[in-house]
């Protein structure tokens, strides 16, 4: 069965620190990859997506992610976090059938 694993459950950073959130998936075929963010009290929002092409994708608010097919990974990065990045981050995989498989999420707390 397909699964998505997010390595960090809770990450605490100071403002201006760099961020990297790990995501690995298990599925051997072609996949679409996503990072969603859920700010406190808000709905899930799409941060970025990978369908094909350049494995380094850029999203909103300065986030980027790199798809490494050989490692089944899609890690999320941001060079310098802000207090407003405090949120829960979800990695998700779609085997192109429209069924999203989510990781369990990483809670990011940014201290001002």
- Is there binding between residue 3 and another protein (CB under 8 A)? no
Taking CB under 8 A as the rule, does residue 40 contact another protein? Answer: no
Q: What is the DSSP letter of 7?
A: S
State the distance between the two ends of the chain, measured CA to CA, in whole angstroms.
Answer: 41
Secondary structure (DSSP) of 42-66? S--EEEEEE-SS-SEEE-GGG-EEE
Residue from 18, 84, 104, 109 binding another protein (CB under 8 A):
104
Token duo for residue 7: 């390595």
Q: According to the binding rule CB under 8 A, does residue 84 interact with another protein?
A: no
100 contacts 27 by C-beta, under 8 angstroms: no
State which residue, 51 or 83, has the beta carbon closest to another protein: 51
Task: Kindly state whether residue 45 participates in binding another protein, applying the rule CB under 8 A.
Answer: yes
103 binds another protein (CB under 8 A): yes
Site residues, another protein (CB under 8 A): 4, 32, 34, 36, 42-46, 49, 51, 90, 92, 94, 96-105
């Amino acid at each position: 069965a397909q699964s998505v694993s997010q390595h960090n459950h809770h990450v605490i950073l100071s403002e201006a620190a760099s961020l990297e959130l790990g995501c690995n998936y298990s599925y051997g075929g072609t996949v679409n990859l996503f990072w969603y963010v859920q700010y406190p009290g808000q709905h899930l929002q799409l941060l970025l997506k990978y369908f094909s092409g350049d494995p380094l994708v850029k999203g909103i608010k300065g986030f980027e992610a790199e798809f490494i097919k050989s490692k089944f990974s899609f890690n999320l990065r941001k060079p310098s976090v802000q207090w407003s990045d405090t949120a829960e981050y979800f990695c998700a995989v779609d085997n192109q059938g429209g069924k999203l498989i989510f990781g369990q999420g990483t809670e990011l707390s940014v201290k001002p």
